[in-house]
Amino acid sequence: MIPFFLYLAAGVATGFHVYTLLMLAVVGAPVDLLEFVSLAGSLGLLVAAYLSLFKPNAAARLALPASLAIWCFYGPAIARTVGWF
């Protein structure tokens, strides 16, 4: 059950976070394409969570590219926040 809860919690937390950022578009905030890539990655983690109940290794092979897709948004966002560029 560890992989299930891990993938589920990460998928829900990242998905909800990026969704709230996307919703700022209604007050005029610019939308970044990487936010959609990240949202797709969160969906992939949710699928991986349920797959992990039956095939943990296949779920991990799905969760890895999904988490890398999420990093596409979080990586530059963290780098900009800490002032790396």
Partner 1 sequence: MLPYLATALLVLVTAYSAVVSFRRPRDGSAPTWIFPNRTRRSAQITVGICTLAVLLGGAVWLTISARHSIRHSSRFLIPEGYVGWVRVEFQVNGASPMPVEGGEYLFTFPPSGVLRTSSSEEYGWAKDHYFYYSEKGTRMLPATSAGGGGLIWGKINGEETGSQGKRKYEEFFVGTEQQFREQPR
Cα three-residue angle 66-37-78, rounded to 5 degrees: 85
Alpha-carbon distance of 13 to 19, in angstroms, equals 10
| Residue 83 touching partner 1 (CB under 8 A) | no
| Residue 45 touching partner 1 (CB under 8 A) | yes
| Residue 33 touching partner 1 (CB under 8 A) | no
Q: Nearest to residue 73, comparing CAs of 4, 21, 9, 2?
A: 21
Cα three-residue angle 11-74-14, rounded to 5 degrees: 20
| Residue 9 touching partner 1 (CB under 8 A) | yes
Residue choice 7, 34, 35, 39 for contact with partner 1 (CB under 8 A): 7
Binding site for partner 1 (CB under 8 A): 1-4, 6-7, 9-10, 13-14, 16-17, 20, 25-28, 45, 48, 50, 52-57, 60-61, 63-64, 67-68, 70-71, 74, 78
